[in-house]
């Protein structure tokens, strides 16, 4: 009986270790961390009613390879594009003055910060450089192998070399995927 309990404990412990999770922080915390250790930021702009956003969370951000890569190379920010959170970014404060608490679990008014970032669809992943400049917004549900190309493109600064459609085609063709799918 003791061996069975010990075996179950070891199994649970190993499952917990392998289930890598993304270390999500607020935009304010990411800006604070930038001052100590500059790195790029990936912001997941989602809404509570968005089905593809939930799939992105579960299937993509829940993938251990994706989570591990993001945690090592980025500060990860999760932001509700229709929420009522107050956000301070580059000295400006953004709110959602038209937020309706009665619609908290449905479509709501767009947040000023989502509008500032020109988010037009959910989910959108906004990538920022170490100086908090937007590199690119990437909209839509992406599976691990689809997001991998962007994560590595921006983390390694290869995006600075990819300036034409031909460059992008070549980059995609030569890219070697390493993320595993479930």
Q: Do 129 and 40 touch, CB atoms closer than 8 A?
A: yes
Res. 4 pLDDT band, cuts 50 70 90: very low
Q: Which long-range contacts (CB under 8 A, 24 or more apart) does 92-98 make?
A: 92/116
Q: Domain 21-174 maps to which CATH number in 2.60.120.10, 3.30.479.10, 3.55.40.20, 3.40.30.10?
A: 3.40.30.10
The number of helices, as runs of H, and strands, as runs of E, in the chain is 7, 7
Mean pLDDT over each residue of the chain, to the nearest integer: 90
Query: Please, what is the end-to-end C-alpha distance for the chain in angstroms?
Result: 33
Over 50: is that where the pLDDT of 9 sits? no
Mean pLDDT of 84-101: 95
Q: Per-domain residue ranges for the chain? A: 21-174
Mean pLDDT of 17-29: 84
Q: How many CB atoms lie under 10 A from the CB of residue 97? A: 8
**Local structure of residue 59 (DSSP, 8 states):** I
User: What pLDDT does residue 19 have?
Assistant: 59
Share of the chain above pLDDT 90, in %: 86
Over 50: is that where the pLDDT of 31 sits? yes
Closest CA to 175 of 148, 138, 143: 148
User: What pLDDT does residue 122 have?
Assistant: 97
pTM over 0.95: no
| Collapsed DSSP state (helix, strand, coil) of residue 117 | coil
Q: Do 25 and 76 touch, CB atoms closer than 8 A?
A: yes
Q: What is the pLDDT of residues 97-123, one digit of tens each?
A: 999 999 988 999 999 999 999 999 999
């Amino acid at each position: 009986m003791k061996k069975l309990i010990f075996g179950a404990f070891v199994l649970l412990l190993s499952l917990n270790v392998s289930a890598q999770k993304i270390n999500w922080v607020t935009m304010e915390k990411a800006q604070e961390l930038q001052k100590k250790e500059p790195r790029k930021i990936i912001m997941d702009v989602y809404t509570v009613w968005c089905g593809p956003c939930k799939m992105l969370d579960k299937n993509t951000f829940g993938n251990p390879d994706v989570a591990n890569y993001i945690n090592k190379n980025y500060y990860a920010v999760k932001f509700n594009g229709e929420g009522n959170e107050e956000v301070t970014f580059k000295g400006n404060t953004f709110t959602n003055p038209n937020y309706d608490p009665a619609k908290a679990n449905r479509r709501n008014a767009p947040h000023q910060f989502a509008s500032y970032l020109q988010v037009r669809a959910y989910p959108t992943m906004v990538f920022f450089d170490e100086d908090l400049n937007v590199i690119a917004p990437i909209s839509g549900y992406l599976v691990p192998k689809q997001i991998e190309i962007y994560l590595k493109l921006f983390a390694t600064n290869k995006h600075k070399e990819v300036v034409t459609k031909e460059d992008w085609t070549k980059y995609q063709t030569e890219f070697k995927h390493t993320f595993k799918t479930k």
